[in-house]
Amino acid sequence: MKPKPFVPKSEMTEQDLERAYYGHCPVCGSDNVTRDMMEPEGDTASQFAHCGDCDISWSEVFEFTGIQFHKLEDIQDSQESSES
């Protein structure tokens, strides 16, 4: 099955969304995926990805909606727990 050139989120199935949110291949579901750095383009950014199992490539498109700040102590607690 050849995927469509672009699939908007509104047309994605629950399985498609789950695969996308967990970084798996949208075609075969594999987690053997490599990604390039994000490329900013105005209010959006795209990231090229490739599946090492089914050999398909795609770009993920992200929209910048804002910045969420966290308490400094939450960030420090998180860093300390990952170091131990």
pTM of the model: 0.65
pLDDT tens column, 26-60: 889 999 999 999 999 999 999 999 999 999 998 88
Would the CA dihedral through 24, 53, 37, 73 be positive or negative? Answer: positive
Nearest to 26 by CA among 1, 52, 48, 58: 58
Task: For residue 32, give the amino acid letter.
Answer: N
DSSP one-letter code for 11: G
pLDDT tens column, 4-20: 677 788 888 888 888 88
